[in-house]
Structure 1
Amino acid sequence: MTKAPERRWSIRARVLTGMLLLVGLALVAAGTASFAVQRLELSERLDESLSRSVKEFKVLTETGVDPQTTKSFTHAEDLLYIAMQRTLPSPKQGMLALVGDKVRWTAPDIVGTRLEDDPEFTAWAFQVQDSNRIRIGTVKTEVTTYRAVVVPVSLPADHERGSFVLAYDYSAEAVANDRNFMIYIAVGASVMLVAALAAWLIVGRMLEPIRKLQTTAQQISETDVSQRIEVSGNDEFADLTVTVNEMLDRLDGALSSQRQLLDDVGHELRTPVTIINGHLELMDPHDPQDVQQSRDIAMDELNRMSVLINDLVTLAKSNRTDFLQTEPVQVGKLLDDILDKARGLGQRQWRIDYRAEATVRLDPMRLTQAMLQLCANAVKFSEDESRIALGNEILRDANGETTLRWWVADAGAGIHSDDLDRIFERFGRGQNSARSSGSGLGLAIVQAIAETHGGRVWVSSEPDQGSTFYIDLPLATGSKEA
């Protein structure tokens, strides 16, 4: 008992761990992909900006004029000066103008990225200048990492070479990108926390039917299975609860049937056993007449016990799922077969009042058993040559539901109103019955057969006016009328 809560929490923890693992993996995968894409976009954006600046510088070189001479530029130093005046660096961008082996011009003081203060970068710029071609590359120094372009300047009238240098502080740009990623991590952690709390509550609610099932199972003893689990919701757990309740209903019915069987056997078999035992004890073995008489009494009681045991076994089987073996049956033909079998029960005026021509799914053997039992009762409580009528028909009510009704009507002694309910009980007998006739279980068997078909059995009767027993079986959608 004490380990059950531990198992329950273990299930809850495992489900929660699995959900968090899935959510975490999804967030990590999405974050990593987003981070990689943003880094790639950052590099592409910086290269695009540098390329655009190179194009603008080429246009200035080819079409620009020197403000002082109003003619084309003849000195690289003047061209670089005008280019730097017309270039507005971004907050994390710097620029230089190299002439010869010196830094001739630098960015205005308002520009935060000071390329001239990083000797490793200026050394790289002078080195690239010697190649006399445009060069875009990444430069790592002790200060930071740059994404830079060096544009060499060579004018026909100027023998001194120069270069226009633009560079982005790649590390500073990446920090802004990383800041967005950190925000993503914080939001992801918050989402996981909320998901964990929601999952904890949801899983707890999902496991509620399991806890109720466990509590109910603990309350069930070997003799008391009356506890049921409350059905709530409309999901798989509700279906499980319904299934467990149905199982408990079957178990309760089986136990009740078992108790009833033991009570019935103890109650009804005690009398014939006592009668047989008494006659055998008093029998004079030297008196052939007394031996014969005792034998006849014992055989009669044993035969009655055999009938009683068979009926009790039938009732005990009625709670089993395989009690019925249903199949499509032509109910009109089945009624004719029942009438043919009933004629051997007694000299009566047997007839059929009405015959339904339809194909219905039912157990023909069990229904024949129930109808013949009603016919046997009709013979038992009616006079020779009196009328006994059988019939079946399909009825439809106002709601469109259909019922297959069977009946056996006699013109016998009838039943007193006080006995109408009692006659369907086990060993229940009316005022017109005698103990020696039958086991007292016939109508109980008829009722069990009707109920296992989902129907019911009832009677309409008045003393000295005869009785009509009805078996009403609900029809499923799909029953076919001929």
Structure 2
Amino acid sequence: MTAPDRTMTAPAATTPVTTADPVRRWVSARIRILLWLLLVMAVALGAVATVTRSVLLREMDHRIQGHLVQEAEEFTSFVEKGVDPDTGGSITDPGRLLKLFLERQYPDSDEELMGLLGVRGETPYVKEQSRELRMSHPLVDDDRALTEIFRSTKATGTVNRHVDPVRWAKVEIVSSPPYPDASFVVAVHPEAEQAKVKDVFTMLLAISGIALLMTTGIGWAVAGRILMPVRLIRTTAAELNEQDLTRRIPVQGRDDIAALAETFNGMLDRLERAFAAQREFVDDAGHELRTPITIVRGHLELMGDDPAEREETIRIVLEELERMSRIVEDLLLLAKAERPDFVSRAPAQLGELTADVFVKARALGERDWRLAGAADAEVLVDSQRITQAMVQLAQNAVQHTVPGQRISIGSRESEGLVELYVADQGPGVQPKDAEVIFERFRRGTARRGARATGAGLGLAIVKAIAEGHGGRVELRPTEGGGATFVLVLQDVLQDQTDVRETEL
């Protein structure tokens, strides 16, 4: 039954990887960064060119409109103030008026000034025009456009012709019979101005194209430089294995990429320490379990038929099995210390908890037990775990003292912290041991009393319980000689009360 199951599930696990990986490898981060950069640059440059073109066209329209209004106002002023040079009086003939005005004008190359005469509703004829025309398709030759302008009731407008549009302004001349209707017309051909705007727009597009090409090269180089640490991280991660975790990413600069490299290096440091601790833990655990197993195997192999010898062998085997059982239980406890439910807090009276620990510890050995102090405060702790840690510290004190020596147990409150301590008058802890005694499978070198049978996990369990409460365990010297182990807990007080010190 199991073989078909394996053949059915294997393809489902491998199919997504083979289909998605080539796409991810082809569209690299460097290319995506470059494409986004080019897209943003293209949109920005296109927007600049388009806005510039719109501004230039709007300015051209304003300039042409202003010019038309100016010419119309000049003619209106001439009509109001003009004098016939031959008679010295006012000019009543529209044709004469247009002739005198146009003779004095010098239009631009894209401008036409003309006078139109005719009957309203009919095709007009050009009475006069100023100077020689220099545009390719002058308005004066377009009868349809002239008729449209002459008939229009507006003062300004645009004539849309098949060759080019023409902007115009008109001033009608008030006349009476026998003179015909007349109008002064100024026309501007915007084709040249529009060509200039088009040239500027084309130049902007060309400059934008060159800028995009330069951006492509610069962006490719800059993206490669920025992503270099990322490639190093990927390469380093691909080359890492359980046997070699020593490689690190060189950190340069102080930007986000440098922070990423530092974070990756920190992760590698933690992984290296974790693997080293795991290997050391496995080696130490194997060593600690190998000894009792060897003892059990050896005694069982040498066990004879003598009842007394068999009884002694069974006793030794049971003792070693009990020691192995304690080692396994301690290892399981330390493994559980990594779980969030390792500590289950509940309100407790610190004084009662201290007294309970003292009563239990007195049964560990014949020592001069003292309840040095009990703080009167309500705390939020896991009473069973705290009791377990304190009893372990008391057991540790018994192993390092001899009958009759003092061991003190107490608790106190100081500056918002709660301290539970076990102090002995033993030989103390050697400085070289102070750094390692809280590690797993580590023991101090100074021992008194009976031979210790522990595996070196007791103080590691105490440390795990303290850290589970958000605190720590400290080693301090005892006045007069010895060692004091202190559980320092913070943020466990329920309310602030006085501390009562009771000397027994």
CA distance in 2, matches of 1:86, 1:75: 18
Identify the match of residue 127 of structure 1 among 147, 154, 158. Answer: 147
> Are residues 65 and 327 of structure 1, via their aligned partners in 2, closer, same or farther at CA, if it must alter by over 3 Å?
farther
| Cα offsets for 1:308-358 (capped at 9, x unmatched) | 22233445566x474865869889456556445534434542313474969
Distance in 2 between the 1:356 and 1:227 partners? 53
The residue that corresponds to 2:288 in the other structure is 268
Shift of 1:8: 8.9
Q: Deviations over 1:384-435 (max 9, x none)?
A: 5643223456778xxxxx9866532112354566755565552434242565
**Alignment map for 1:190-269 (pairs within 5 Å):** 191-193=211-213, 195-196=215-216, 199-231=219-251, 236-269=256-289
Equivalent runs, 1:96-115 vs 2, <5 Å: 96-99=114-117, 103-108=126-131, 114=134
Structure 1 residues 39-75: Cα deviation after superposition (integer angstroms, max 9, x where no partner): 3453354234324433443443355332332322222
Between the aligned partners of 1:208 and 1:324, the Cα distance in structure 2 is: 43
1-structure distance, mates of 2:325, 2:169: 111
Paired residues for 1:300-379 under 5 Å: 300-315=319-334, 320=338, 322=340, 325=343, 332=350, 335=354, 338-339=357-358, 341-346=360-365, 348-353=368-373, 355=375, 368-379=387-398
Q: Aligned partners of 1:216, 1:331: CA distance in 2, in Å?
A: 54
Counterpart residue type for residue 138 of structure 1: V
Partner Cα separation in structure 1 for residue 471 and residue 25 of structure 2: 41
1:379 deviates by: 2.3
Q: Secondary structure at the match of 2:322?
A: helix
1:24·1:192 contact (CA, 8 Å) conserved in 2?
A: yes
SS in 1 for 2:128: strand
* Distance across 1 between alignment mates of 2:383 and 2:211: 64
Percent identity, aligned pairs only, is: 33
Gap change, CA 1:39 and 1:321, over 3 Å in 2: farther
Equivalent in the alignment of 1:57: 75
**Counterparts of 1:326 and 1:64, CA distance in 2:** 109
TM-score by length of 2: 0.75
Q: Report whether the alignment pairs 1:428 with 2:443.
A: yes
Q: Is residue 34 of structure 2 the alignment partner of residue 16 of structure 1?
A: yes
Would you say how many aligned residue pairs link Structure 1 and Structure 2?
465
Map 1:260-299 → 2, pairs under 5 A: 260-284=280-304, 287-299=306-318
Aligned-pair RMSD on alpha carbons? 4.3
| 1:217 Cα offset (Å) | 1.1
Q: Is contact 1:95-1:115 (8 Å) kept?
A: no
| 8 A contact 2:377–2:495 mirrored in 1 | no
Structure 2 equivalent of residue 389 of structure 1: 408
- Flag the 1:345–1:393 CA change in 2: closer, same or farther, 3 A: same
Of residues 423, 426, 442, the one that matches 1:412 is 426
Deviation, 1:163, is 3.7
What is the correspondence of 1:95-174 to structure 2 with a 5 Å cutoff? 95-99=113-117, 103-108=126-131, 114=134, 118=138, 121-128=141-148, 131=151, 133=153, 136-142=157-163, 144-153=164-173, 155-174=175-194
Mapped to 2, the partners of 1:225 and 1:152 lie a distance apart of 95
Contact map agreement 1:395 1:404 (CA 8 A) in 2: yes
Cα offsets for 1:148-196 (capped at 9, x unmatched): 2354545225534444231112111112222332343345445545654
Helix, strand or coil: the match of 2:28?
A: helix
Query: 2:83 corresponds to which letter in structure 1?
Result: V
Work out whether residues 353 and 391 of structure 1, in 8 Å CA contact, stay in contact via their aligned partners in 2.
yes
Structure 1 residues 288 and 359, CA gap change in structure 2 (3 angstroms): closer
Check conservation: 1:116, 1:122, Cα contact below 8 A: no
Give the match's secondary structure for 1:140: coil
d(CA) in 1 for partners of 2:73 and 2:249?
79
Change (3 A) 1:272 1:125: closer
Change (3 A) 1:92 1:363: farther
Letter in 2 for 1:251: L
1:73 aligns with 2:87: no
Contact 2:45 2:208 in 1 (8 A): yes
Aligned partner of 1:227: which letter? R
- The answer on whether the counterparts of 1:129 and 1:163 sit within 8 Å (CA) in structure 2 is no
- Asked if structure 1 preserves the Cα contact closer than 8 Å seen for 2:355 and 2:374, the reply is no
Q: Distance in 2 between matches of 1:209 and 1:370?
A: 47
Unaligned runs of 5+ in 2: 1-20, 119-123, 498-504
Q: 1:283 to 1:233 in 2, by over 3 A?
A: same
User: 2:4 is matched with which residue?
Assistant: none
> Alignment partner of 1:67: what SS?
coil
TM-score with structure 1 length normalisation?
A: 0.77
Provide the rounded CA distance (Å) in 2 between the counterparts of 1:205 and 1:410. 62
Unaligned 5+ residue runs, structure 1? 397-401
